[in-house]
Amino acid sequence: MSLGRGVLLVIVAAAIVFASFVVTGALAVGYAFGGFAIVAAAAFAAMRTGNEHARLTPPLAVSERTNDPLLAIVGGLPDPVIALDRDWRVLALNEPARALAPALRQGEPVSLALRMPELIEAVGRAFARAEEQRIEYSERVPIDRWFQAVVMPVRRMPDDTMPDLVLLTFRDLTPLRRVEEMRADFVANASHELRTPLAAVSGFIETLQGSARDDPKARERFLAIMQQQASRMARLIDDLLSLSRIELNAHRRPDKPVDLVPIVRQVADGLQTLARDRGVTVNIEAPGAQTVLGDRDELVRLFENLVENALKYGTAGKRVDIKLAGVRAEEGEHQVEISVRDYGPGIAPEHLPRLTERFYRVNVRESRDQGGTGLGLALVKHILNRHRGRLSIESTPGAGATFRVYLPTVEPAVVQ
């Protein structure tokens, strides 16, 4: 029962008792009224003291009531938020905070659940100085994660001199850090890839200006190597520019209908010389037209990379099979599947998930010897993302590799 209702009951009971004294003649009206007034005044005084007590008691533990505004506000915030009282006990926390630190309990000291010395020190400083504190910290287990925590002291009463609670809010910096790391890695890799041929070219220029100045045979040989290195740099720059162009347009879905069959045939024709040099036969199996909404140049680039890789890395198999077939995806959408299969040495399973990373190569030396940049499959992945397609790679070491591309078609494809 609430204090207010209890007081009312006492007053009503006193009124009935004193009225019955008057009715039965046990007390004179004046005395009865005086007695009733004293009881009522005492009851009101008790109620005020009770209210005062409730107001002054520091909020040590969290109220379970849902109409607690602090709980309601904290519960409605999207980022992890924890409110602590002056004794560093958890007053309120929301679901994201529970996910961040499952050991947190309302009413319990935060230091039991958050074993983060920097954070605990920041809470101490926030209370002592009544100033906002910001810290960044990382977790190593189970995976690397980075957070920013803001500890904000709050005075709930206008005349309080010191904060009576602090609010801890957390921001997950992990995606931001990953992107920063990737960008730094990318720039380092790209510079490294360019520096190697550049160093070779500079070295040969020096030799040609010095010891080989009057040696026509050496000059011929060095110029040929310099040309090779220069075209390697040109290929690299070309691939880097293509990557950034595709990324720039990633959000714009291509809208021109293009038939993939002539594109694949054009790619195979373009690579005929390479295939002949390597003694590899290219077979194409295609049903009727397979129309997708696409960017023609990007699609040519995509299949060029896949077929060229099959010819370069699968030379030993002497055969490359390209097959186009209409398939029906699970959602009932029509798709075309284009598979490029070689019968070369294949790829060990541990490399498969990383092949589309920029500059990832199973064997760097082999890739360089083949004129590779390590960006071909990264380009394939980006082109497919833009075209809402996907890539799957299957390989049995020793028995070749199959790269399968799936793209949504605009007309019902021939389902085989």
Annotate 385-394 with b (16+ C-beta within 10 A) or e (fewer).
ebbebebeee
Q: Least separation, in Å, of the C-beta of 385 and ligand ADP? A: 15
Q: What is the DSSP string of 23-57?
A: HTTSS-HHHHHHHHHHHHHHHHHHHHHHHHHHHHS
339 contacts 402 by C-beta, under 8 angstroms: yes
- Give the residue from 145, 191, 201 showing the smallest Cα distance to 170: 145
Using the rule CB under 6 A, which residue among 232, 361, 381, 386 binds ligand ADP?
A: 361
Please name the residues in contact with 128: beta carbons below 8 A apart, sequence gap of 6 or more: none
Residue 347 binds ligand ADP, judged by CB under 6 A: yes
Collapse the DSSP code of 115 into the 3-class scheme (helix H, G, I; strand E, B; otherwise coil) and give the result: coil
DSSP lists the bridge partners of residue 283 as: 321
Q: Least separation, in Å, of the C-beta of 176 and ligand ADP? A: 27
Q: What is the DSSP string of 187-201?
A: HHHHHHHHHHHHHHH
From 119-127, 266-274, 293-301, 302-310, span contacting ligand ADP (CB under 6 A): 302-310
Question: What distance in Å separates the CA atoms of residue 173 and residue 168, rounded to the nearest whole number?
Answer: 16
Residues 140-159 that bind ligand ADP (CB under 6 A): none
- 27 CB neighbour count, 10 Å cutoff: 17
Q: Least separation, in Å, of the C-beta of 358 and ligand ADP? A: 8
Residue 246 binds ligand ADP, judged by CB under 6 A: no
Q: Which is nearer to ligand ADP, 71 or 310 (CB)?
A: 310
Residue 362 binds ligand ADP, judged by CB under 6 A: yes
Q: Least separation, in Å, of the C-beta of 372 and ligand ADP? A: 3
Using the rule CB under 6 A, which residue among 377, 383, 405, 407 binds ligand ADP?
A: 377
> Judged by CB under 6 A, how many residues of this single chain contact ligand ADP?
21
Token pair belonging to 284? 């194409």
Q: Which is nearer to ligand ADP, 89 or 312 (CB)?
A: 312
Using the rule CB under 6 A, which residue among 342, 381, 382, 383 binds ligand ADP?
A: 342
Q: Which is nearer to ligand ADP, 107 or 349 (CB)?
A: 349
| Stretch 310-339: interaction string toward ligand ADP, x if CB under 6 A | x--xx-------------------------
Question: What distance in Å separates the CA atoms of residue 117 and residue 122, rounded to the nearest whole number?
Answer: 9
Token pair belonging to 410? 């605009």
Using the rule CB under 6 A, which residue among 335, 367, 382, 389 binds ligand ADP?
A: 367
Q: Least separation, in Å, of the C-beta of 212 and ligand ADP? A: 31
Residue 402 binds ligand ADP, judged by CB under 6 A: no
11 contacts 39 by C-beta, under 8 angstroms: yes
From 95-103, 126-134, 258-266, 372-380, span contacting ligand ADP (CB under 6 A): 372-380
Question: What distance in Å separates the CA atoms of residue 81 and residue 72, rounded to the nearest whole number?
Answer: 12
Q: Which is nearer to ligand ADP, 175 or 398 (CB)?
A: 398
Please report, as ranges, the residues that interact with ligand ADP according to CB under 6 A.
305, 309-310, 313-314, 342, 344, 347, 355, 361-363, 367, 372-378, 401
